[in-house]
């Protein structure tokens, strides 16, 4: 059986404007063989998929997207390649380049010594291409530099171009549309008529003014519709094109042939076509603005990495692009400069502002041996460091990828919204046919009133014929039914939410993580290192023979090879007491129980009650003292020497500063809080009392933590687990939401759905509050996106016409759709001002405080 | 190349189905409107064109999607 190899791909897709576009691209990609887990995101303009690279290539993916009517953009660059001598060299270089993800084609010219590469920007960089060529034994120099920051610039440029183009369309459609409206309502202007030329009211003049609007700014709807129809797909452009085209077409016919029977001069809806175009373009412009703004979080992160690094080579300082720095290079950093790659300080001393990445508000002192992170800002000193992680391995690159992947993913609620919107278009056209047929065969005869007017307009329909009236209602239904804002409602809110969380050092791994976090009912905290500082210390030593120092020494020798925090505490306690520790002759760790060791012909057993019970050591004489210590919240370890009870060593870990306050706040939010620990019940309950926790799961073996999570889930609860991402992996994976706390910036190895970079328990609250705020925003956006449709469709279809003889004009329908887009956009942007309750007193993280640097540079005085 | 051939075949065969569907619906509309006897020729023809266009828009993606599925499975 052939082994299926699976690769992941994320490509930019241009040309999508709505949820139905998303559905079409997804369908096109799913039709490719051996392609799985396709996710297309409108807000990020990206398609992510998993595929078998043996069966499907990047070119196939581009072709599928192209066939669906959209574009995967490709750039071209030329490398100068040195060292090639024959055709096989050409093959090696081409092969090396084509193996890179993101390279579409690579053509090497032996005579000119060049490699022309067509690639998808953002997926591969020039430095990666050069490295690939170098790795096969040739030297490559690029003719045009391309860095990940340049890819971000290009992406930003593409968005700005889109915004500018729609802005130009809006100005033309709005300005000329205003003139058309003035001309149409000329007779109602009263004294203002004196300032307006009469010819503006002539139908043919209005027609001439409307024509450039329909075929200028409105052209995009016809072009996009035709492109979609050629591939057998329908999208929202078709709704607009049908509506605008029908209104304009009928108006032209009634102007040129008023007696043809389409309604006559009273049914020239040029202003409908003009204003409809203007309002829809307004909605498009706002959507383009929203897409541009909400991906700001990613761009901010990308901009943190400086474009150049100062490398020290053979005593000389040279400047090179940051993307080309290799591991081991010695890099110089001066005050005010950003750090280009991850590394370890080799010389010098400084303080570094890491707030833009970790949210840590105070600058961190860096000396020889300390780690530095790419993207952070050197404040006051100068230093040199060796690069230890470069390119996609840096903490910054990992965080960017995590946030990007989260923003490109889809929450379950969004999948539902996209499915509804995608199928809605066909349903709308069916509805339009039904509405037309009803009014044509039944409604006009029964209910038509020549005094019918449009809502918000004194314009009367007069003697409009059955065809004109039925067509008007049918067209209005098409326009008002368009779920234009639905496509943006969820992804825009998700992008804003993930970006907002990242500002506080909370990284959601996907949109589904946000949705699940908002629904949590129970949170389980791991005790050691999560609720407590994880640095316990020895508090009491009780020896049966009255020699506590000897007991502590033996206990420390037994724990010397242990990696457990309690063992560390005993060793530290012994060393700080000046006790000398030799190595044990033998050592065995029994997880969840303790350790056994042998030294100087002495058998030492150190651990909990379970261990002593299993080994048959009787501690009755010391039990009362043990229980007293445990009720004080201390962890008691029983020490047996040569099979006899020898004494007790009590260790206590301090609660983290904000643990109690965080638990209180969680209770206020309506959540049940539990604690899970391997400690005995008495100790665990004492800690739980201090911090205010309801439910204690004590004496749980590490391998059983996931089972405890499962038990709570079996009660029908949505459960989160908060713990160390590496050590608590099974429990984090089992939970509905796993929160890995204190990961630091090495986020790649963390299990769990949410990564909390800082070791601050309040970030659990930040994650919950941001998730709830984001989901509330999603629901609000979907409400605003759909409410206009739900209210507008019955009105547009003429449901209330028999009662009130008033109908909605196509341009008012277009205005309502633009207003729904405006509402969703503005509502999403409100999330940018959101501040979690635990951070109200802080300045917004990520804002660079340049004051100390300005003082240092003498620009301002202290 | 094979992909492009399948796409062309899908487009051709789909058109042979959805075009007659749209024409049939449009013709049915015209017949019903004519039989009722109340409508001007302009209204009947205009209505026929509009109903035919909307029927084409509804049937085209449905037929094309089914045809794609059918040909790919073969």
pLDDT at residue number B67: 84
- Answer yes or no: do B50 and A436 touch at CB < 8 A: yes
| Residue spans of beta strands (DSSP E) within A217-340 | 308-313, 316-321, 330-333
Answer whether A467 touches B (CB < 8 Å): yes
3-state SS, A2-37, equals CCCCCEEEEEECECCCCHHHHHHHHHHHHCCCCEEE
SS3 content of chain B, % helix, strand, coil (to 5): 90, 0, 10
pLDDT at residue number A750: 67
**Which whole-number Å values give the CA distances from A349 to A20, A333, A346, A382, A696, in the listed order?**
56, 11, 9, 6, 46
Residue A545 DSSP label: T
Average model confidence (pLDDT) across chain A: 82
Q: Has residue A1 got a pLDDT over 60?
A: no
ipTM value of the model? Answer: 0.94
Query: Shortest Cα distance from B14 to chain A (angstroms)?
Result: 9
Q: Which residues of B touch A (CB under 8 A)?
A: 3, 7, 10-11, 14, 29, 32-33, 36, 38-43, 46-47, 50-51, 53-55, 57-58, 60-65, 68, 72
Q: Residue A102 — pLDDT band, cuts 50, 70, 90?
A: confident
Measured CA to CA, the distance from residue A394 to residue A748 in angstroms comes to 10
- Answer yes or no: do B60 and A470 touch at CB < 8 A: no
Answer whether A437 touches B (CB < 8 Å): yes
- Answer yes or no: do B58 and A430 touch at CB < 8 A: yes
Alpha helical stretches, state H, A669-704 = 681-691
Measured CA to CA, the distance from residue A133 to residue A115 in angstroms comes to 10
Which of A261, A430, A471 has the CB atom closest to B40's CB atom? A261
Q: Residue A721 — pLDDT band, cuts 50, 70, 90?
A: very high
pLDDT at residue number A210: 93
The share of chain A scoring above pLDDT 90, in percent, equals 24
- Answer yes or no: do A467 and B53 touch at CB < 8 A: no
| Residue spans of beta strands (DSSP E) within B1-74 | none
pLDDT at residue number A726: 59
pLDDT mean over A5-27: 80
- Answer yes or no: do A232 and B64 touch at CB < 8 A: yes
pLDDT mean over A591-602: 88
Q: Edge-to-edge, what's the strand order for the sheet holding A35-41?
A: A7-12, A46-51, A35-41
Q: Has residue A297 got a pLDDT over 70?
A: no
Which of B50, B55, B68 has the CB atom closest to A471's CB atom? B50
pLDDT at residue number A850: 37
Higher pLDDT: A548 or A156? It is A548
Which of B11, B39, B57 has the CB atom closest to A466's CB atom? B39
Answer whether A627 touches B (CB < 8 Å): no
Which of B29, B42, B51 has the CB atom closest to A260's CB atom? B42
- Contacts (Cβ under 8 Å, ≥6 apart) of A406: A494, A498, A507, A508, A509, A510, A511, A513, A514
Q: Has residue A744 got a pLDDT over 70?
A: no
Instruction: Output Rg (C-alpha) for chain B, integer angstroms.
Output: 16
* β-sheet bridge partners, residue A108: A115
- In the residue annotation, A632 being an active-site residue is answered as no
- Answer yes or no: do B42 and A467 touch at CB < 8 A: yes
Q: Residue A460 — pLDDT band, cuts 50, 70, 90?
A: low
Give the count of beta carbons closer than 10 Å to the beta carbon of residue B17: 16
CA A580 to the chain's CA centroid: 53
Higher pLDDT: A266 or A339? It is A339
**Residue of A431, A433, A470 to mutate when probing chain B, most B C-beta within 10 A:** A433
Q: What are phi and psi of A444, to 5 degrees?
A: -60, -45
Terminus-to-terminus CA distance in chain B, angstroms?
Answer: 17
pLDDT digits (tens, 9 = 90+) for A144-198: 444 455 555 656 666 777 788 889 999 999 999 989 888 887 877 788 888 888 8
Measured CA to CA, the distance from residue A219 to residue A763 in angstroms comes to 49
> Nearest residue of A to residue B69 by CA position?
A31
Answer whether A470 touches B (CB < 8 Å): yes
Which of A229, A260, A432 has the CB atom closest to B60's CB atom? A229
Q: Edge-to-edge, what's the strand order for the sheet holding A672-676?
A: A506-508, A754-756, A737-741, A719-723, A522-526, A672-676, A695-697
Closest by CA to A476, choosing from A414, A533, A431, is A431
**Residue of B25, B45, B57, B67 to mutate when probing chain A, most A C-beta within 10 A:** B57
Query: Shortest Cα distance from B52 to chain A (angstroms)?
Result: 9
From chain A, the residues in CB contact with B38 under 8 A are 445
pLDDT at residue number A176: 93
Instruction: Choose from A369-383, A477-491, A544-558, B3-17 the range with maximum mean pLDDT.
Output: A544-558
pLDDT digits (tens, 9 = 90+) for A674-694: 999 877 788 888 889 989 998
pLDDT mean over A269-293: 76
Q: Residue A845 — pLDDT band, cuts 50, 70, 90?
A: very low
Which of B10, B41, B54 has the CB atom closest to A432's CB atom? B54
Measured CA to CA, the distance from residue A24 to residue A30 in angstroms comes to 10
Higher pLDDT: A410 or A789? It is A789
Out of A323, A342, A418, A526, which one is annotated catalytic?
Answer: A526
Q: Has residue A452 got a pLDDT over 70?
A: yes
> Nearest residue of B to residue A475 by CA position?
B50
pLDDT mean over A42-64: 84
From chain B, the residues in CB contact with A429 under 8 A are 54, 57-58
Higher pLDDT: A387 or A494? It is A387
Answer whether A251 touches B (CB < 8 Å): no
Measured CA to CA, the distance from residue B27 to residue B22 in angstroms comes to 9
pLDDT at residue number A520: 95
- Answer yes or no: do A471 and B3 touch at CB < 8 A: no
Q: Are strands A602-607 and A635-641 parallel, antiparallel or unpaired?
A: antiparallel
pLDDT at residue number A85: 66
Closest by CA to A407, choosing from A776, A48, A827, A21, is A48
- Answer yes or no: do A440 and B3 touch at CB < 8 A: no
Q: Determine the 3-state secondary structure of A330 from DSSP.
A: strand
Q: Among A223-237, A380-394, A486-500, A502-516, which stretch is predicted with the lowest mean pLDDT?
A: A223-237
pLDDT at residue number A853: 34
Q: Among A417-431, A595-609, B40-54, which stretch is predicted with the lowest mean pLDDT?
A: A417-431
pLDDT at residue number A857: 35
- Answer yes or no: do A429 and B58 touch at CB < 8 A: yes
Residues recorded for chain B: 74
pLDDT at residue number A246: 83
**Residue of B2, B4, B58 to mutate when probing chain A, most A C-beta within 10 A:** B58
Q: Has residue A395 got a pLDDT over 80?
A: yes
- Answer yes or no: do A436 and B47 touch at CB < 8 A: yes
Q: Residue A730 — pLDDT band, cuts 50, 70, 90?
A: confident
pLDDT at residue number A858: 35
pLDDT at residue number A3: 54
Higher pLDDT: A566 or A310? It is A310
The share of chain A scoring above pLDDT 70, in percent, equals 86
pLDDT at residue number A340: 92
Q: Residue A553 — pLDDT band, cuts 50, 70, 90?
A: very high
Higher pLDDT: A296 or A703? It is A703
Q: Residue A331 — pLDDT band, cuts 50, 70, 90?
A: very high
Closest by CA to B49, choosing from B16, B19, B27, B20, is B27
Give the count of beta carbons closer than 10 Å to the beta carbon of residue A390: 23
Terminus-to-terminus CA distance in chain A, angstroms?
Answer: 73
Q: Has residue A508 got a pLDDT over 70?
A: yes
- Answer yes or no: do B58 and A31 touch at CB < 8 A: no
pTM exceeds 0.90, yes or no: no
pLDDT digits (tens, 9 = 90+) for A220-246: 888 877 776 666 666 677 778 888 888
Query: Shortest Cα distance from A478 to chain B (angstroms)?
Result: 10
pLDDT mean over A707-732: 85
- Answer yes or no: do A232 and B14 touch at CB < 8 A: yes
């Amino acid at each position: 059986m052939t082994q299926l190899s699976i690769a992941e791909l994320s490509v930019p897709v241009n040309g999508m404007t709505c949820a139905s576009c998303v559905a079409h691209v997804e369908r096109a990609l799913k039709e490719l063989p051996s392609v799985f887990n396709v996710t297309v995101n409108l807000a990020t303009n990206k398609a992510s998929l998993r595929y078998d690279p043996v069966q499907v290539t990047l070119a196939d993916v581009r072709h599928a997207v192209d066939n669906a009517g959209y574009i995967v953009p490709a750039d071209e660059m030329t490398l100068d390649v040195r060292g090639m001598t024959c055709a096989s060299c050409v093959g090696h270089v081409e092969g090396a380049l084509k193996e890179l993800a993101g390279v579409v084609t690579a053509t090497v010219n032996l005579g000119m010594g060049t490699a022309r590469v067509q690639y998808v920007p953002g997926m591969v960089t020039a430095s990666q291409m050069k490295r690939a060529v170098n790795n096969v034994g040739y030297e490559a120099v690029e003719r045009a530099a391309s860095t990940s920051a340049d890819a971000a610039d290009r992406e930003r440029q593409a968005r700005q171009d889109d915004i500018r183009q729609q802005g130009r369309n809006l100005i033309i459609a709005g300005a000329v549309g205003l003139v058309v409206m003035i001309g149409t309502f000329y007779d109602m202007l009263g004294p203002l008529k004196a300032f307006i030329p009469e010819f503006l009211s002539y139908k043919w003049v209005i027609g001439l003014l409307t024509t450039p609007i329909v075929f200028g700014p409105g052209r995009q709807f016809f072009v996009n519709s035709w492109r979609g129809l050629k591939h057998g797909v329908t999208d929202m452009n078709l709704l607009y094109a049908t509506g605008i085209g029908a209104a304009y077409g009928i108006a032209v016919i009634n102007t040129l042939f008023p007696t043809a029977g389409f309604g006559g001069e009273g049914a020239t809806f040029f202003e409908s076509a003009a204003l409809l175009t203007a309002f829809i373009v307004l909605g498009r412009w706002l959507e383009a603005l929203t897409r541009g703004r909400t991906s700001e979080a990613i761009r901010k992160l990308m901009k943190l990495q400086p474009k150049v690094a100062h490398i020290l080579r053979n005593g000389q300082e040279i400047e090179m692009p940051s993307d080309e720095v290799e591991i081991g290079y010695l890099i110089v950093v001066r005050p005010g400069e950003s750090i280009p790659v991850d590394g370890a300080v080799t010389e010098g001393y400084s303080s570094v502002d890491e707030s833009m990445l970790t949210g840590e508000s105070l600058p961190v002192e860096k000396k020889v041996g300390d780690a530095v992170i790419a993207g952070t800002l050197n404040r006051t000193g100068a230093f040199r460091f060796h690069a230890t992680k470069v390119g996609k391995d840096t903490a910054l690159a990992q965080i960017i990828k995590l946030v990007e992947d989260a923003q490109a993913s889809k929450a379950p609620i969004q999948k539902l919204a996209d499915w509804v919107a995608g199928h809605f278009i066909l349903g709308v056209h069916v509805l339009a046919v039904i509405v037309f047929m009803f009014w044509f065969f039944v409604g006009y005869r029964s209910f038509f009133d020549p005094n019918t007017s449009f809502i918000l307009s004194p314009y009367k329909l007069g003697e409009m014929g059955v065809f004109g009236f039925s067509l008007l209602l049918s067209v209005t239904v098409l326009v008002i039914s368009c779920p234009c804002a639905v496509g943006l409602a969820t992804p825009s809110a998700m992008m804003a939410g993930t970006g907002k969380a990242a500002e506080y050092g909370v990284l959601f791994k996907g949109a589904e993580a946000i949705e699940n976090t908002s629904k949590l009912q129970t949170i389980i905290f791991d005790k050691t290192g999560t609720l407590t500082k994880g640095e316990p210390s020895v508090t009491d030593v009780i020896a049966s023979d009255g020699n506590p120092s000897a007991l502590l020494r033996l206990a420390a020798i037994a724990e010397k090879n242990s990696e457990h925090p309690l063992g560390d505490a005993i060793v530290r306690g012994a060393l700080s007491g000046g006790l000398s520790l030799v190595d044990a002759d033998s050592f065995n760790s029994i997880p969840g129980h303790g350790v056994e060791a042998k030294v100087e012909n002495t058998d030492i057993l150190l651990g909990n009650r379970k261990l002593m019970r299993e080994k048959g050591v009787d501690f009755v004489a010391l039990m009362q003292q043990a229980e007293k210590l445990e009720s004080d919240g201390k962890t008691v370890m029983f020490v047996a020497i040569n099979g006899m009870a020898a004494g007790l060593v009590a260790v206590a870990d301090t609660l983290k500063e904000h643990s109690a306050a965080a638990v209180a706040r969680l209770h206020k939010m309506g959540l049940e809080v539990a604690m899970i620990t391997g400690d005995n019940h008495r100790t665990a309950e004492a800690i739980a009392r201090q911090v205010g926790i309801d439910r204690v799961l004590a004496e749980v073996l590490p391998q059983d933590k996931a089972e405890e999570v499962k038990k709570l889930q079996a009660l029908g609860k949505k459960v989160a687990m908060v713990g160390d991402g590496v050590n608590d992996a099974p429990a984090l994976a089992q939970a509905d939401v796993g929160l890995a706390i204190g990961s630091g910036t090495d986020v790649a190895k963390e299990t769990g759905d949410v990564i909390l970079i800082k070791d601050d328990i309040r970030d659990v609250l930040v994650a919950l509050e941001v998730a709830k705020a984001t989901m509330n925003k999603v629901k609000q956006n979907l409400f605003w996106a759909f409410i206009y449709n739900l209210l507008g469709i019955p009105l547009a279809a003429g449901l209330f016409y028999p009662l009130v003889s008033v109908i909605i004009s196509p341009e008012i329908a277009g205005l309502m759709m633009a207003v729904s887009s405006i509402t969703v956009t503005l509502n999403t942007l409100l999330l940018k001002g959101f501040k979690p309750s635990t951070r109200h007193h802080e300045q917004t993280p990520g804002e660079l405080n340049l004051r100390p640097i300005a003082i240092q540079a003498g620009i301002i005085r202290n | 190349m094979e992909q492009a051939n399948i796409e062309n075949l899908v487009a051709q065969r789909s058109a042979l189905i959805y075009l007659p569907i749209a024409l049939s619906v449009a013709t049915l509309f015209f017949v019903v409107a004519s039989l009722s006897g109340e409508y001007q020729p302009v209204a009947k023809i205009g209505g026929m064109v509009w109903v035919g266009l909307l029927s084409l828009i509804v049937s085209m993606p449905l037929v094309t999607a089914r045809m794609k599925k059918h040909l790919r499975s073969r």
